[in-house]
Amino acid sequence: MGLSVGMVGLGQFGQEFVGLFKSHPDVSRIALCDLSAERLARMAQQYHIRECYQSLDEICRSDLDALVIITQPWLHFEQVMKSLQAGKHTYSAVPPVFGVEGDALLEQCDRLVETVKRTGLNYMLGETTFFRRETMYCRARAARGDFGEFTFGECEYWHDLDEPHSNLREVARNRWGKDWGPDKRGHIPMHYPTHATASMVSIMKAHMVSVSAMGYRYPNEDWFLEEAYYRNPFCNEVALYRMSNGALVRHAEFRRIGHPGREGFRLFGTEGSFLSDPSGVRWATKSGWEPLDLSDVSEPLPEPLASNLGGHGGSHAYLVHEFVDSCVKGRLPRIHVWEAVRYVAPGIVAHQSALRDGEPLPIPDWGDPPA
């Protein structure tokens, strides 16, 4: 029996996933949902989809098996809870929880894990970094023991506020829509940490246990302001973590940087190291280094997804397949809820540390999934 899937949120990002879900051989029925009637009609026409819903409440009352939620970040938690409580397997875009108050967000992580446990349904986080070629390559080498003992990692998400191709001021205005106002300026860089942390956690199979972080204040700031909604003065934040395997990780979230932008990492071990920067990727050992060509790195995918990987380093098709396949086979998705909270909680606590000028703080953990 195939999976019936409802896609909730057909904005900039959600639109990129409709074709992939529709073409998955194990998806037997697909429905669309958006508050915007115009977007809904446009996507329904483009993909020849007849089943449409005008709100999350309405689609939750349907008999669909699964919902894919790609809405504004601050809506994910409440909407995922609603979807799980309606008995649907649920996928959400990153981050799983998002907002202003760190303690409230950590409580939301508690509730998310608890709800997944109680319902026995699948929750999967759509973290694109998990299926970037660099991450897949390093997971394979880590499984072969090629790093030796992990010693140090550096991970980063750099996205300048005024980046010409994806201007974050415009993104914020579009996402807030009619609720936009100058008070909504700014956001907390470390509250969007998953593109960086996912590489470290998923490759080392270890989690962050403590953090000391600091923030940078831009002298001519007009966006990251203590008096605005997020009460955040930092455009750039840097965290130093201790991992559960003893390794150290430095994590940089920059929103003001003279650089075209980057989601990436470097990872060092006692026997081998993975190096990456805009000039290329390399594998290093004690005797030298070799340039790497990762264009052939892949994992099995059904057609037609294998020949149409989609964006963010070709990760989209893998995310779609992982969610559909895990629901159809009744197995845990690889980016399950216990993994998802290990990507987001470190950033939440890092921001709390940065607000206290680097005070070392413990990072909560929700453990491994039950056997």
Ligand X SMILES: NC(=O)c1ccc[n+]([C@@H]2O[C@H](COP(=O)([O-])OP(=O)(O)OC[C@H]3O[C@@H](n4cnc5c(N)ncnc54)[C@H](O)[C@@H]3O)[C@@H](O)[C@H]2O)c1
State the residues that interact with ligand X by CB under 6 A. 8-14, 33-36, 39, 55-56, 70-73, 75, 93-94, 128, 174-175, 312
Rank residues 82 and 117 by Cβ distance to ligand X and give the closer one: 82
Q: How far is the CB of 312 from ligand X (least distance, A)?
A: 5
Rank residues 169 and 217 by Cβ distance to ligand X and give the closer one: 169
Q: How far is the CB of 1 from ligand X (least distance, A)?
A: 26
Q: How far is the CB of 71 from ligand X (least distance, A)?
A: 4
Residues 6+ positions from 53 with CB-CB distance below 8 Å: 6, 31, 32, 33, 59, 62
Rank residues 122 and 128 by Cβ distance to ligand X and give the closer one: 128
Identify any residues that bridge with 68 across adjacent strands, giving them in sequence order.
7, 91
Sheet order of strands, 236-243 included: 288-292, 280-285, 273-277, 262-269, 150-158, 248-254, 236-243, 208-216, 361-362
Rank residues 261 and 358 by Cβ distance to ligand X and give the closer one: 261
Q: How far is the CB of 316 from ligand X (least distance, A)?
A: 9
Give the C-alpha separation, 239 to 297, whole Å. 30
Residues 6+ positions from 337 with CB-CB distance below 8 Å: 96, 112, 113, 116, 123, 125, 366, 369
Rank residues 150 and 158 by Cβ distance to ligand X and give the closer one: 158
Residues 6+ positions from 339 with CB-CB distance below 8 Å: 125, 201, 202
Q: How far is the CB of 54 from ligand X (least distance, A)?
A: 8
Q: How far is the CB of 272 from ligand X (least distance, A)?
A: 28
DSSP 93: P
Rank residues 27 and 67 by Cβ distance to ligand X and give the closer one: 67
HEC string of 224-267 equals: CCCCCCCCCCCCEEEEEEEECCCCEEEEEEECCCCCCCEEEEEE
- Report the residue number whose CB is nearest to ligand X: 11
